[in-house]
Chains A and B, each alone.
Chain A
Amino acid sequence: MVMVIDELKKDVIRELIKNRKRDDGRDFNEYREISIKTNVISTAEGSADVKIGKSRVMAGVKLEVVEPFPDKPMEGTLTVNADLLPTAHEIFEEGPPNEESIELARVVDRGIRAAEAVDLKSLFIEEGKVWGVFVDIYTLDHDGNLLDTAALAAVAALHTMKVPEYKDEKIIRENLTPKPLLTIPTQCTFAKIGKEIVLDPTYAEELVADARITYCVGDNMLYAIQKAGSGSFSKDEIISLLDKSFEQRKYLLSLLNKL
């Protein structure tokens, strides 16, 4: 098997992009092939295994009974964590979360939270007790755009989540009630290479990108943005990419609505 070394492809990619071409032949506004499998982990209350091209992320949702946050005593809680595993790429080291994994978790969390996608109000049990929704994002294979892969996995896992029964101070995980999301946020990530901007960058494309920007949107609504990298965007680019995110939403929703 021949392994192509992404680090050595930088000049090739830059040339291609300048000529408005991509390494895998995609259009600048096209996603790689996306596959979403849910309910893959029986010990989790919600789970999803998502692939975008060769990137792969698994998300698991666990529900526990917790104390509510003091300022929101009648609502369930949502916590999103991400681990960029050494499994996924040799650049990820063992140890405490690095800034990239912190950023990934916070960006995915932000979009879901701002959209108020999870019906937290319905997760109230009794005074001092609510359901805490814990989403853990496990990156398994890194070929670029872990952000969108993780977001899709988190959303898919949450959308197919089932809430256990809580009775007599005990969690009965055999009795489950589906709790689909109130609204489904969709997320798009773009990379800027030179003057060009591409959707869903591969790892090799990320290596030559000067900047990256992620949008999380709903129906005619913007929920979150995160720009990363030392490159810059003009105001017009920022607005045009928002519009592209709205366009892609239809496609991404069609995948999620099938679940």
Chain B
Amino acid sequence: MGGNSDVPLIVNGRRLDGRKMDELRPITIEAGVLNRATGSAYLTWGKNKVLAAVYGPREVLPKHETNLYGSIVRCRYMMAPFSTEEHGRAGPNRRSREISKVMREAFENVIIKEVYPKTAIDIYVDILEGQGSTRVAAITAAAVALANAGIPMKDIPIGISVGKIDNQIAVDMMREEDNFGQADMPLAIAPMSGDIILLQMDGKMTREEFIYALDLAYTKIGEIREKQINALREFFKKSSAAVENDNEQDNSDLNEIDQQVSKSSLQEPSQELSAENETMENETAGNENSEY
């Protein structure tokens, strides 16, 4: 937080990139972009470029960190040396370690750890290009990567920042606003409960400004959530789509899949589906096949 700069951050009600106080920068999210990782997501948020990878649940190494009754969650947030205006040193630093800690704690809130005891869930987020509010972009991306990996979670968290620039409360701080604004507040919220799972603040805000900022953050989480859901939906469509040189019959299947994915109402289940699929009630019933 620089506090004061000579450059006005708001001109004619618009911010340096033309946004209004309550506007988010454009966000794109793509799920399942990496081959090796269990789950992954690539996110752009304004000029931020974030890559999140999730490995796990997997064996815990070093072994002494193992929790017999649940998974452990580990998180590494890192900014690439080429991600900032000035060349940064590679490797973790105090800032990235603090961010890794608060991110990990946010994910520990939503990950259901009891499902895979004695395992580790490793979250790696790399900021490839950093342009303000990277930690909330990182959380938003990692949340999608975790869902993409099939890690059991209560909810898919959303990251968002609010702040104060030129005495006005604004949402989604860009780099200049981070550096020269008067206050910066990154948050992560679990949308189903509305609970706050990450909260930091730095700067100067009155009580009224603080409450206004919190409320403003809440109004924007729906927009971000939609991007996360679309990323997961697109990945599903992509991994379920037939390949292009299939015969005509397969293309008609693609249409059927498309409809199923986009329809919110339910279709009539077929006999075959119920016969072949395990029901929820007897998920862990014995083998269906006993001979080879």
A-to-B contact residues, CB < 8 Å: 71, 97, 99, 102-103, 105-106, 110, 113-116, 213, 220-235, 238-239, 242-243, 246
Contact = CB atoms under 8 A, between A and B. Distances in A.
Interface stretch (B20-28, B193-201, B257-265): B193-201
A228 B214 contact: no
Contact of B210 (A102, A232, A234, A242): A242
Contact of A223 (B105, B199, B204): B204
12 contacts: A71-B2, A102-B98, A110-B202, A213-B199, A223-B202, A225-B199, A226-B201, A227-B199, A229-B105, A230-B106, A233-B199, A238-B214
Contacts of B197: 227, 230, 232
A232 B3 CA distance: 30
B185 A225 contact: yes
Interface in B69-114: 94-95, 97-98, 100-102, 105-106, 108-109
Contact of A116 (B3, B97, B98, B109): B3
A152 B108 CA distance: 30
Given A102-B97, A231-B109, A239-B214, A221 B196 contact: no
Contact of A228 (B105, B207, B218): B105
Contacts of B195: 232-234
Nearest to B111: A230
Given A105-B94, A224-B203, 4 more contacts: A71-B2, A223-B202, A239-B214, A246-B207
A106 B201 contact: no
A116 B204 CA distance: 10
B1 interface: yes
Given A234-B195, A238-B214, A239-B211, A227 B102 contact: yes
A225 B196 CA distance: 13
**Tier of interface size on chain B:** 35 or more
Contacts, number: 95
B210 A222 contact: yes
Interface in B1-47: 1-3
Closest CB pairs A-B (n = 6) = A230-B108, A232-B195, A225-B201, A227-B199, A99-B101, A222-B205
Interface of B: 1-3, 94-95, 97-98, 100-102, 105-106, 108-109, 183, 185, 190, 193-207, 210-211, 214, 218
A227 B200 contact: yes
Nearest to B108: A230
A100 to B, nearest CB: 8
A222 B201 contact: yes
Contacts of B106: 230
A114 B194 contact: no
Given A231-B109, A232-B197, A99 B100 contact: yes
Contacts of B97: 99, 102
B185 A232 contact: no
B94 A102 contact: yes
Given A99-B97, A232-B195, A235-B218, A114 B204 contact: yes
Contacts of A224: 200-203
A226 to B, nearest CB: 5
Given A228-B105, A230-B105, A232-B196, A222 B98 contact: no
A226 B2 CA distance: 19
Nearest to B184: A114
Contacts of A99: 97-98, 100-101
Contacts of A113: 1
A221 B204 contact: yes
Contacts of A221: 204-206
B98 A103 contact: yes
Given A213-B199, A227-B102, A242-B207, A234 B94 contact: no
